Chain A
Amino acid sequence: MLRFTIRRVIELVLVFFGVTFAIYAAVFALPGDPISSLGGDQPLSPAVVERIRELYHLNDPLWSQYLRYLGHLLTGDLGVDFRGRSVAERLATRWPVTIRLALTAWVIQVVIGVGLGLIAGLRKNTWIDRGVLILTILITSVPIFVMAVTAQLVFGVKLSLLPIAGVTDGWPLSYLLPATVLALYGLAAVARLTRGSVVDTMSSDFVRALWAKGLTRRRVVGIHVLRNSSIPVLTYLAIDLGALLGGAVVTEGIFNLPGVGQLLFQSIRVHEGPTVVGIATALILIFLLTSVVVDLLNSLLDPRIRHD
């Protein structure tokens, strides 16, 4: 276990440096000059441009800029953007929106996705099972922006049940519609995975042996089948939560939610390098953290992994 942990940590560090450097380099390789566009229609004087380039160390070689960035990062400083605003502070106002959206969407996926999958799996080859299959295929085949705009039209404009966009109504009202749209997209995968897992477990030898032991249906399904089927599903859900926390660019855009995804999109558009790298770093950390959680979860749920 110790060797495994050490290897994991080394992998984490390598991935972290590799990916942050790649993104750092990619952002600065983008065509166009962010400094000259700061002035808008009025071209900046060469002296001012030079002064700003100096200030941001833009004349240094890439590796030295990256190392300086890393140095600041270790002290928790994400730096400032080209307008002098602190990247960390800008992110801090965005995260709550994204976290609320992600968690709401995730809970909807867990409740409805796992629920549908469970029912379909336990009622294999009945009309309920087929209904769930058709429903999930339908949902997956609709592009997310079509779903989003349709939801806005139906629930926001026609029925006036929920706000169409923005966060002025706070949680949960403002988040229900975008979170549901976001959740529906991943729902199908959760439902299909749960169904498959339950069907596999139900047809396994040990479940037949459990029936032969004379256990009640409640015990066989509620304890044994559920625990065994949950292993792949929970793994997927943990990874899924990580992905949701990464911000939903399209959904946040359509519903005008001031979250991380929206900020990332805007920042890329205006070549706001420091912000893009800051967000990317945070996302990498989330993914690395998620993968560790998945490993721990797996070994917790499955003794065969624990003892390896």
Chain B
Amino acid sequence: MKDDILRFEDLTVDFTVGGTTHRAVDNVSFAVRPGEVLAVVGESGSGKSVTSLAALGLLPSNATVGGRISFGGEDVLSMSRAELTTLRGRRIAMIFQDPVGALDPVFTIGSQLIEMIRAHQPALSRGQARERAIELLRMVEIPEPESRLKYYPHQLSGGQCQRVMIAVAVACDPELLIADEPTTALDVTVQQEVLDVLLAMRSEISGAIMIITHDMGVVADVADRVVVMRKGSVVETADVHELFDRPTQPYTQALLDAVPRGGLRDDKPSGPTEGTPALSVEDLVVEYRGRRGKTVLAVDHVNLALNPGEITGLVGESGSGKSTIGKSVLGLAPITSGEVRVDGRALTTASSSVVRRTRSRIGVVFQNPAGSLNPRATIGQSIGEPLAVHRGVRGGELRGRVEELLDSVELPRGWAGRYPHELSGGQRQRVSIARAISLDPGLLIADEPTSALDVSVQATVLELLRSLQDRLHFACLFISHDLAVVDQVCDRVAVMSHGKLVEQGTREAVLRAPQDPYTIRLLAAAPVPDPREQAHRRSLRLVG
């Protein structure tokens, strides 16, 4: 169409690294129309970010670009450096995933805002630019904008930094705002606020918004139209309702199916416990000594009990203390007061040999499988190590056990000799799980085990975890920020906020009929992959 703002025509992007060329974007064509919010959705490696960077001529020097990108009828790819400088910021603005990292740490946010304004409107005096900066900060709902001008990025929270980035982006009334995963690094309640601010900008700037995301909930929340990308190509382009109601492509359908919606686990009657709980945390307090003698109360008198054979989800936002509880069970956090019992044995008072033996019955899966596997050890060595150390299993027997464990996490036996870098993120996490269950644990602690994974991979890893638990009946403390994931795999749910346990109970009770205001807020903020539901919630928020 003639009046498209931005149009990609047969865009290809090749990266050359060390002589080999890799195609990141392959024949991509789509357009952004005036006034719309277009979501480009895809998993990692789909080429969505590269496509957006190409629109600003921001690709690194080892990229070769083919095809055509036209913006307002002009060919972006043939622009000179000077022409690009007037295009960027002034006509196409961009905000990035990591808001704290996207601001220069050694300049105040005020100077960075004023710099942006004066770069594109040199006629404005410093004073006028400052006035405009204050107005912009007010627009993105930063409190006390005059005094905030003097703040450095590290003095603001992630959410506030992203607001500042939005203010910078809309400062010159751009025709197009590109937001690359703008809320991925933020907590869910902050994500909602930032998305609200971003959408409010639609009426402030005259142009369109192109939002790049992997989160179907965010797509449902904000988009008018959706472009689905996979492995560098466009799979499907559709109106948002069309896409969610009647996806035409199998990949789109698979992507939607992979989104955790919860309720997939059979309801087990979870009555009062028979026998000793697998893990009980009693009146636990964890304090960290901060600077200037200040102490930070990370965990504040928490009581929690895990029944054998149940998965308990521990939910909260960053800084809520949920990971600290997991760490204190593993002896990685200082217990100030209270007690942690595993299988009835108190860990704070037991002798060190008892503690070591008890801990050998706890399996652990961490968030980042790339970081938690020794890169110099084969995956067979990593999986077999606990058996060799704690049980003294050696030689052929060890090899046999490692092969069984690889079977149980659905990896080929022949992979025992491979190194972690030869595996994908999901495969590495399977290795972590195999290692965690190698000693037949009574308790598994999984700390954000799928947060670093793509949604389709996440679905398969969650499925694996659940089937293993069904078979091996270990108790599991499943720590996560993602309510939908918790809804999908857990029997019981505990919600944490600011170090306190605010609510716990069966999954149905906590997630369907929450009592605590914080839980209610958390549930309302988590976007669901349903555009109608999201539109409904948004209208309620605007009224309220």
A positions within 8 Å CB-CB of B: 3, 204-206, 208-217, 219, 224, 227-228, 231, 301-304, 307-308
Contact = CB atoms under 8 A, between A and B. Distances in A.
Contacts of A307: 152, 154-155
Contacts of A302: 105-106
Contacts of B85: 214-216
Interface of B: 56, 58, 81, 85-90, 93-94, 96, 98, 101-107, 115-116, 119-120, 152, 154-155, 165, 168, 291-292
A212 B176 CA distance: 12
B93 A212 contact: yes
A14 B116 CA distance: 49
Given A214-B90, A224-B104, A304 B154 contact: yes
B115 to A, nearest CB: 7
Contacts of A204: 101
B220 to A, nearest CB: 27
Contact of A206 (B56, B87, B101, B120): B101
Contact of A303 (B58, B115, B154): B154
A205 B98 contact: yes
A213 B96 CA distance: 12
A206 B94 CA distance: 12
A217 B119 CA distance: 12
Contacts of B98: 205
**Interface residues of chain B: helix, strand, loop or mixed (majority):** mixed
Contacts of B88: 211-214
Given A303-B154, A307-B154, A214 B102 contact: no
A209 B103 contact: yes
A196 to B, nearest CB: 18
Nearest to A230: B106
A303 B108 CA distance: 9
Nearest to B154: A304
Nearest to A304: B154
A184 B519 CA distance: 65
A302 B105 CA distance: 8
Contacts of A209: 94, 96, 102-103, 165
B96 A304 contact: no
B168 A213 contact: yes
Given A213-B168, A217-B81, 5 more contacts: A205-B96, A209-B96, A212-B93, A214-B87, A215-B89
B154 A206 contact: no
7 contacts: A205-B102, A211-B58, A212-B88, A212-B93, A216-B119, A224-B104, A228-B104
A208 B58 contact: yes
Given A212-B56, A212-B89, A213-B168, A303 B94 contact: no
The 9 A-B pairs at the shortest CB distance, nearest first, are namely A214-B89, A214-B88, A205-B101, A209-B102, A212-B94, A213-B89, A303-B152, A206-B104, A304-B154
B292 A206 contact: no
B211 to A, nearest CB: 15
Contacts of B116: 213, 215
Given A210-B104, A214-B85, A214-B119, A308 B291 contact: yes
Contacts of B87: 214
Contact of A214 (B104, B106, B107, B120): B120
